[in-house]
Amino acid sequence: MDLLEAGARQLDRVERSSRLDGVIDLVRRAVRRVIPPGPVADALHGTWLGHPLHPALTDVPVGAWVGAAVLDAVPDQEAAATALVGLGLAAAVPSAVTGYNDWAAAGREQERLGLWHGLANGTAAVAYAASLVARLRGRHAAGRTLGGLGLAAAMAGAYLGGHLAYRSGTGFNHAEPAWRRLPTSWQPVDELTALPPGRLVRRLVADVPVLVYRGPRSVHVTVEQCAHMAGPLSEGAVAVIDDEPCVVCPWHGSTYRLRDGAVRRGPATMPQPVLKVRIVDDRVEVRRP
Ligand code: FES
């Protein structure tokens, strides 16, 4: 237990170390040249799915390679094990593409650890490619050894991915904790006349920061922390897409429709939670639906 926590703290230190930032900048620029921000990058993030696509795709290569390792221990299953190694390699391609695309839109600290996550998984792919070649040439003992090395690297990559997702907060909905704290009963926000038209402003509702936008016909209120990585939406910009006002996050450019929080541009994959709004005697009130 202590050993695992010590390992996790070491990874926290990796996130704080700036020694490889130059390499990270080079790789990120290369990734963004191949996959520029836009509809393809958004699709690879998983905006159409409502949550990140990469973690779901990683199950296929890891599952296939674990299956190959099991079959390697069973007599006369060389052909089936070889097929699973090949399947894992094929599935590693979309997994890597979505992973690099997410990485290039992450925060600096997550990028630092993500570099090692990608390196571990790249090592796994190289070892499995060599394993596949050996197996296809009939050298199954060498194929098994290389497969073992690949599986060890893939497990290291999976551990780092788990740390990134759950400890470093890459990929979870950062608006959700604040959203859960908002009451379901009507709460005052401000006087309508105190809200500047067409501007994004920050207010507190039950001590929870919210973003308020007063449009020409209605007032929209959402959680202030961006669902992607908790960027301050009140410091963002207003954009009009399809005649509807949207907020653009100042950190990575995620764009949410203010009416319903729908993601119009990634890298966010989850909608920004919006509150119900009513105006009573010139006073704006909100509640969680
Ligand atoms: S924090 Fe990344 S887009 Fe808002």
- The CA 241 to ligand 1 mean position distance, Å, reads 18
Q: Which residues approach ligand 1 with their CB closer than 6 A? A: 226, 228-231, 249, 251-254, 268
- The CA 267 to ligand 1 mean position distance, Å, reads 7
Measured from the Cα of 253, ligand 1's closest atom is 3
CA dist., res. 114 & res. 170, Å (int): 10
Measured from the Cα of 226, ligand 1's closest atom is 4
Q: Give me the pLDDT at residue 8, please.
A: 82
Q: Give me the pLDDT at residue 31, please.
A: 96
Q: Give me the pLDDT at residue 63, please.
A: 96
226, 235, 255, best to mutate for ligand 1 pocket (most atoms within 8 Å of CB): 226
Q: Give me the pLDDT at residue 55, please.
A: 92
- The CA 193 to ligand 1 mean position distance, Å, reads 30
- The CA 268 to ligand 1 mean position distance, Å, reads 7
Which residue's CA is the nearest one to ligand 1's atom 2? 252
Q: Give me the pLDDT at residue 5, please.
A: 82
Q: Give me the pLDDT at residue 1, please.
A: 60
Q: How far is CA 18 from CA 41, 108, 109, 229, 280, in A?
A: 26, 9, 9, 20, 52
Measured from the Cα of 105, ligand 1's closest atom is 2
- The CA 230 to ligand 1 mean position distance, Å, reads 6
Measured from the Cα of 233, ligand 1's closest atom is 4
Q: Give me the pLDDT at residue 6, please.
A: 85
Q: Give me the pLDDT at residue 262, please.
A: 95
pLDDT, averaged in runs of 10, over the chain (289 residues): 80 89 95 95 94 93 97 95 97 96 91 95 97 97 97 96 88 91 95 94 96 94 95 96 95 96 94 95 94
CA dist., res. 268 & res. 196, Å (int): 27
- The CA 4 to ligand 1 mean position distance, Å, reads 30
